[in-house]
A and B are shown apart, each in its own frame.
Chain A
Amino acid sequence: GQQVMQIPQYQHVQEGEDFTTYCNSSTTLSNIQWYKQRPGGHPVFLIQLVKSGEVKKQKRLTFQFGEAKKNSSLHITATQTTDVGTYFCAGERGSTLGRLYFGRGTQLTVWP
């Protein structure tokens, strides 16, 4: 089963609106990674967060890692149609380094 929970499962927004997806783990993570998968494609790495409370930005995307290293979020400001896809968080635990536990993903649809 899923070790990492991710919500919402689906999000439909109008172009220009903001979007946020949340990720939660029952256990402390050593790091968390975010991936994007376009329809019909394969997951593509976006970013990795390692430090407690870390915040990273990539243009319109803002990634946060919680203080307890159990939760994370991805926020997209002013969505564009090119943002369409499924966003996955994937956590790595200290006891099983190398193994990623993926969330179920949030499927983002953006209409013009």
Chain B
Amino acid sequence: DTGVSQDPRHKITKRGQNVTFRCDPISEHNRLYWYRQTLGQGPEFLTYFQNEAQLEKSRLLSDRFSAERPKGSFSTLEIQRTEQGDSAMYLCASSSLNRGDYEQYFGPGTRLTVT
């Protein structure tokens, strides 16, 4: 499977705990995006990387959220001191600018439930 993969697919955690999600983009894609989606809403932009550089971060993203893409390949999204409002589907997507192709390919998502 050469698509975008995310791990884990589901995560249940208690309020106050830290969680980390991983995204593996399509191998030749240089851009990687993180979104959050709640029921009945469209994906909400969190941040994106071009290679290893984090180019933009949403103002909606509190200091509890951090993302990395150390080698320009996979990425991690960490949420510290989780709150119930963090419960959502976290989607990762990747794209390639090299071909002038702006299509974003989404992974299956990580569903986070904070109890």
Listed in ascending order, the chain A residues whose CB lies under 8 Å from chain B are 2, 6, 9, 31, 33, 41-45, 48, 88, 90, 92, 96, 98-105
Contacts and interface: CB of A to CB of B under 8 A. Distances in A.
B56 A104 contact: no
B42 A99 contact: no
A48 B93 CA distance: 16
A104 B91 contact: no
For A90, A98, A103, which residue has the most chain B Cβ atoms within 10 angstroms? Answer: A98
Interface in B93-115: 93, 102-109
A9 B39 CA distance: 12
Interface of B: 31, 33, 35, 40-45, 48, 50, 55-56, 91, 93, 102-109
A103 B56 contact: no
A104 B41 contact: yes
B48 to A, nearest CB: 6
Interface of B, helix, strand, loop or mixed by DSSP: strand
A20 to B, nearest CB: 18
A98 B32 CA distance: 10
B107 A98 contact: no
A90 B93 CA distance: 14
A33 B103 contact: yes
B106 A99 contact: no
Given A42-B106, A92-B102, A98-B48, A105 B42 contact: yes
Given A42-B108, A43-B106, A102 B43 contact: yes
A96 B103 CA distance: 16
A48 B35 CA distance: 19
